[in-house]
Amino acid sequence: MGASGWDYYVPYQEGLNAALQQLRHEVFEAGDYYWEPRPQSLKELWEDESVQESGTHSILDIFRVVGPDDTPDYNTVVPVTAEEARELLGTDKLTRAHVKDFDVFPRSRWIGRCAVLHDDEGNPQEIHFWGHSGD
């Protein structure tokens, strides 16, 4: 099938990892991913070796947000830094209007990205998660 692109918007909260885990739970509960038969839990889903190899083509393939001192690896998401946003898009207060230009941010398959999006006054409004996963 090949990798699938995915993106999600969630309300802003300070903890990016907490936002990711909440999103993963919501996507799992909604059944908004590729895999049959549907398991009873995320744990059960990821115990399946085929899922480990092929993924779900969704945010369920991403387990944690890496910190500034961590090395990105498969199944992680890397936040866009203020420096990266300034260098590539000219601002550190990204908004929904910038999302169309997010292809400038480096990314790899099975490693997602996330960015805090701001309102017109510069206040954090939501978090955008995006990436490609699945085989």
* Res 107 pLDDT > 90: no
Domains contained in the chain, number: 1
Q: Could you tell me the CA-to-CA distances from 100 to 60, 95, 97, 118, 133 in Å, in that order?
A: 23, 10, 7, 15, 20
Percent of the chain with pLDDT over 90: 93
Question: Domain range for residue 85?
Answer: 4-133
Which of 128, 59, 131, 132 is CA-nearest to residue 94?
Answer: 128
Which pTM was predicted? Answer: 0.95
pLDDT in tens, 26-37: 999 999 999 989
* Res 113 pLDDT > 90: yes
Q: 126: Cβ–Cβ under 8 A, 6 or more apart, which residues?
A: 9, 10, 11, 12, 96, 116, 117
